[in-house]
Amino acid sequence: MLPTPVAFRTVAFVALFAFVAGCLAAVAQAQDPIPTTPATHTLVAAGTGAVKPTPNDRKDNASIVAAVEKASAKALPLAVADARSQAQELATATGVTLGALVAVSNTSVTSGFYGPIYYGTLGTFGPGKFCGDIRTRSSTVDANGKRHYGKFRTRHLCRVPATVQRTVSLTFAIG
């Protein structure tokens, strides 16, 4: 004998109720306890360092990759020094003393979906690929205003990013 629609709905309702109750119990247990120690007062400052990459051969992908990595390594200490000076300026302006360094964060620099800063340092033809083939074609407009397209032309192109930027965020204890 098959179950009646009422019995089926009852079993489905009980199962749904048990599922929701289990989810609510899991969420209640997952919440963090309230901290009992007082929060440390901190000051956060961000700094940026920018270096222009100079590859030995502007038409060789390996040379461009090496130049970008070298520029990135040079930009990091500049970013840290900039963040330290920003922190000192903030501390002086607010009348607090700068304490020990508590945390360091490497932040990413983007401007838009594929911004010129972040996208260019990864490679415009993919991650680590600064050289690749591009396809273009010419177009002309006749006397009637109709556009006519020519044949596709493929050419090899290498793009060197204008600058490599590194941004860091430093958190200091303050007193």
Contacts with 61 (C-beta within 8 Å, 6 or more apart), sequence order? 128, 129, 130, 131, 158
- In this predicted structure, what is the pLDDT of residue 19? 73
Q: What is the value of pTM for the model shown?
A: 0.65
Each residue of 129-146: b (16+ CB within 10 Å) or e?
A: ebbeeeeeeeeeeeeeee
pLDDT per 10-residue tile (average), the chain, 175 residues? 63 70 64 58 91 94 94 94 94 91 77 48 84 92 93 92 91 88
Separation CA 129–CA 132 (nearest Å): 7
Pair 87, 173: CB distance under 8 Å: no
